[in-house]
């Protein structure tokens, strides 16, 4: 589960998943990405990825799997190692800046987008039982790909 397709973070995550796909496939695993975008946005780019992109603009799958938003922009990035490596630990320096608006998606409001959306990684077996889950606590709180694959085999 990831944010809307146009989000830079989503682009990076999809690129990582595409790189991991051959190894996952060789181990008998399949990857699917649920994206907070509509099908008109995803259809033209589907061919760029070796796995299926699932459009969930209305967040039905997000809600069903309890993939929530951060409760504030500060909590979306507070303690996030990637974010701190870019700007330091004093996030108060960013309040009211264009950078914060860009990161949280509040610079431009588009219907259906949740600017505070967090990501999740859920693995299911062939009977659709959840056998792995990782719910991100911050913007870039991602598990190691090998951790996911290990749990899936």
Nearest CA-CA partner of 115 in 123, 125, 107: 107
Q: Which of 59-63, 113-117, 144-148 has the highest average model confidence (pLDDT)?
A: 59-63
Kindly give, in sequence order, each residue whose CB lies less than 8 Å from that of residue 123, ignoring residues fewer than 6 positions away: 29, 130, 131, 132, 133, 148, 151, 152
Instruction: Name the H helices within the chain.
Output: 8-26, 39-42, 60-64, 73-77, 81-87, 98-104, 145-152
Whether the full predicted model's pTM is greater than 0.85, yes or no, is no
DSSP states of 45-57 as a string? GGGGSSSEEEE-T
Kindly tell me if the per-residue pLDDT of 40 is higher than 90: yes
Kindly tell me if the per-residue pLDDT of 99 is higher than 60: no
For the record, the structure tokens of 47 come out as 């061919």
Which of 58-62, 73-77, 120-124, 130-134 has the lowest average pLDDT? 73-77
The residue-averaged pLDDT of 108-123 equals 73
Give the relative orientation of helices 145-152 and 8-26 as an angle to the nearest 10 degrees.
Answer: 40
Q: What is the pLDDT of residue 92?
A: 56
Instruction: Name the H helices within 27-80.
Output: 39-42, 60-64, 73-77
For the record, the structure tokens of 143 come out as 């598990």
Q: d(Cα 21, Cα 26) in Å, to the nearest integer?
A: 8
């Amino acid at each position: 589960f990831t944010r809307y397709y146009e989000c830079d973070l989503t682009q990076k995550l999809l690129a990582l998943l595409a790189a991991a796909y051959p190894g996952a496939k060789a181990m008998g695993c399949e990857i699917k990405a649920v994206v907070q975008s509509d099908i008109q946005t995803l259809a033209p780019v589907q061919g760029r990825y070796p796995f299926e992109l699932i459009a969930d603009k209305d967040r039905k799958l997000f809600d069903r799997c309890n993939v929530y938003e951060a409760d504030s922009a500060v909590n979306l990035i507070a303690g996030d190692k990637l974010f701190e490596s870019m700007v330091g630990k004093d996030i108060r320096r960013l309040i009211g800046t264009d950078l914060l608006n860009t990161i949280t998606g509040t610079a431009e409001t588009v219907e259906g987008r949740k600017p505070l959306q967090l990501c999740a990684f859920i693995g299911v077996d062939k009977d659709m039982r959840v056998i792995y889950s990782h719910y991100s606590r911050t913007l870039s709180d991602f598990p190691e790909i090998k951790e996911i694959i290990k749990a899936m085999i």
